[in-house]
A and B are shown apart, each in its own frame.
Chain A
Amino acid sequence: NAGVTQTPKFQVLKTGQSMTLQCAQDMNHNSMYWYRQDPGMGLRLIYYSASEGTTDKGEVPNGYNVSRLNKREFSLRLESAAPSQTSVYFCASSEIRTHSYEQYFGPGTRLTVT
C-alpha cells in the first residue's frame, strides 16, 4: 500500500497563475482533507470531504477550490495564486465510520508563489 500520495512535491508559481494539487489514497477511506502548514500556525484545514460526493469548507477556504473526483482522489485548486498561499500543503485521509478517527497524511507539496 502506498497510503496517501501527493503530486507534485514542489512547485513554484508566479502571482496569478493557477495549479491543481493532486491527492490519492489507497486505503478505501471515506474522508479526505486538505491542510496547509505555516511556521508557528500549525495545521489549518482548508477543505474536507466527509464522503464521496460531498465537500465542505474548513478554517481557511478562501482562494481555493476542491474536487472529490472519486473515493480515492481529492484535488485542491488554486485559481489565481497569491504570495500568501506560499505554504506546505498536506492531504490526509481517515475512516470515520469505524470510529478510528486517526488521520493518514501524504508527504506534502511545497508551494512557493512569487
Chain B
Amino acid sequence: AQSVTQLGSHVSVSEGALVLLRCNYSSSVPPYLFWYVQYPNQGLQLLLKYTTGATLVKGINGFEAEFKKSETSFHLTKPSAHMSDAAEYFCAVGGSYIPTFGRGTSLIVHP
C-alpha cells in the first residue's frame, strides 16, 4: 500500500522568495517519486522524478527535490520564485501500474 500527503493546500510566496512544497509518502516497497505541475486549464506535466541513485533530483524550471528515506519525504524547492511558477503541484508515488497522487498544493506567487 502507498499513500502521499502534501502539507498545505495553498502556499503563498513573494516573487524572488524560496519555494518549499512539502510531500511525505508511505510505501511498502522502494518508491519511485514524482512531482508534476499543472498550469491553469492544462494537463499535468512531469517536473522531476526519483527512481534510484542520487537523492537530490533536479527538474525543469529550476526546481529540485530531495529524497529523504529516513523522513519519508520528497519536498520540492526552488531558490527564487517567478510569477510563471504559479500553478498546482502534485506529488506522486509510483512503482506499480497505479500511482498514488497527493491532493495537490496551489502555489501563489505575489509580485
Q: Which residues of A contact B (CB under 8 A)?
A: 4, 31, 40-43, 45, 48, 50, 58, 90, 92, 96, 99, 101-108
Contacts and interface: CB of A to CB of B under 8 A. Distances in A.
B45 to A, nearest CB: 7
A43 B91 CA distance: 11
Interface of B: 9, 32, 34, 36, 41-46, 49, 51, 90, 92, 94-99, 101-104
B99 A42 contact: no
Interface centre among A31, A41, A43, A50, by most chain B C-beta atoms within 10 angstroms, is A43
Contact of B99 (A4, A90, A103): A103
Contact of A105 (B43, B94, B102, B103): B43
Nearest to A101: B94
Decide if the interface of chain A is mainly helix, strand, loop or mixed.
Answer: loop
A101 B95 contact: yes
Contacts of A58: 98
A43 B104 CA distance: 9
Interface centre among A41, A101, A104, by most chain B C-beta atoms within 10 angstroms, is A101
A86 to B, nearest CB: 16
Interface centre among B49, B92, B97, B102, by most chain A C-beta atoms within 10 angstroms, is B97
Contacts of A107: 42-43
Given A102-B46, A107-B42, A43 B101 contact: yes
A106 B43 contact: yes
Nearest to A30: B97
B42 A108 contact: yes
26 contacts: A4-B43, A31-B97, A40-B9, A41-B103, A42-B101, A42-B102, A42-B103, A42-B104, A43-B44, A45-B98, A48-B97, A90-B43, A92-B44, A96-B97, A99-B51, A101-B49, A101-B94, A102-B34, A103-B36, A103-B44, A105-B36, A105-B43, A105-B44, A105-B45, A106-B43, A107-B43
A23 to B, nearest CB: 11
